[in-house]
Amino acid sequence: MKIGVIGLGTVGYGVVEILTNEKTRLEKEMKQEIVIKYGCGLEEVDLPEEIIYTKDYHDVINDEEIDVVVELIGGTTIAKNIILEALNNKKHVVTANKALLAHYGKEIFQTAKANDVHIFYEASVGGGIPVLASQKESLIANNTKEIVGILNGTTNFILTLMENENLDFDEALSIADGLGYVEANPALDLDGIDAAHKICILAQNGYQKFVDFDQIQASGIRNVTKLDMDYAKKLGYRFKMIAQAKPVKDGLGIDVSATLVNLNELVANVMDSYNVVEIDNDYVNNIIYYGRGAGRYVTASAVVSDIMKTHQVERWSHDYEDCKHVYPISSSRYYVRASKPVDIPYETYYSEKDDHIYITEEIELTDLKNKLDDENAVIFKVRG
């Protein structure tokens, strides 16, 4: 097997390291030689001497000796060209590119099928957590009822800092950014876009439907305050940015939002940069996957696992229908903080100083807002 790695950043170099360090063991497992022929990146790095460095990805995808192209540059422009050209050149492809798969998965999967080659992408969701392989393989006997997860380690880290260190949002964000947790475009993390990419991929596999990403509603954690975190804790809840997908009406309900989760639930106790995915099925019920969602070796581990899969005969099937409609999941219990008592159906009420806090009964968001009338209330979803 001859491999070309395109993208020599944090994860790409991690892939080179693992394949180099574990070469003997992995070759024994695959019963064939594993050779990294090319390392492709805009800036040269210190590669093992047997690996050819190039700046031109065409050197990789046009080489007839290359069996597997590993795309790790990210983004939805050049990366798309690389993957489609590689597939059309009969190369197997391994990628960690969640944004590309969320936006253009249908085209990519159909191109792979047309050329009878593999496309694997475990590292696109949850870093090294083997959730996609489970969906495509281990859970194939089941129908998926609901998918819920903390899918962005950066926002989870920020929320943990706010709670544990008694910080407001901007202070916690500054620390997270200084530690390298925040994307170059912070909106991908903070506004829920990254998590939306991942829940889109999970939903497509779980419900076997191609999802129009632009129909997914996502909000992030920018409006979470230390004050609301404190009130939530007093009521037995903790803030998490929750991504959720489930069947509704004639389509799927999918959204991403800051949500109060009961402290008794496992999901509420996933802290720092860890991710968790909970899949509820009809036969095996709730399955939970937990681990770090990002990092050089965490993500590279999943990429190497996918490379190993490319020698198998059976492709992952993506013979999906188009999802007709994607709706926000708007029927929920809600946390409401108002400056005066309000007439809404509630399960729990708490007041402190000039704040009136409610945990509502399940209600449609539009109905809740109508009942609040002109009251400028703070509203967050409550899980369960």
Distance of CA 2 to the CA centre of its chain: 29
Give the number of other Cβ atoms within 10 Å of residue 283's Cβ.
Answer: 8
Helix, strand, coil content of the chain in percent (nearest 5): 35, 30, 35
| 49 known ligand binder | no
Question: How far is it, in rounded angstroms, from Cα 380 to Cα 159?
Answer: 15
Closest listed residue to residue 7, CA positions, set 111, 153, 15, 197: 15
For residue 262, the SS3 value is strand
Question: How far is it, in rounded angstroms, from Cα 37 to Cα 94?
Answer: 16
Q: Would you say 84 and 108 are in contact if contact means Cβ atoms under 8 Å apart?
A: yes
Beta-sheet pairing, 346-352 with 355-360: antiparallel
Place of tokens 């005969």: 313
Give the number of other Cβ atoms within 10 Å of residue 49's Cβ.
Answer: 6
Which residues are part of the catalytic machinery? 198
DSSP E strand stretches across the chain: 2-6, 35-40, 52-54, 68-71, 92-95, 119-120, 144-150, 209-210, 217-218, 237-248, 251-262, 274-281, 286-292, 321-322, 326-327, 331-338, 346-352, 355-360, 363-364, 378-382
| 23 known ligand binder | no
Q: Which residues are annotated as a binding site?
A: 98, 183
Residue set of the binding site for NADPH: 98
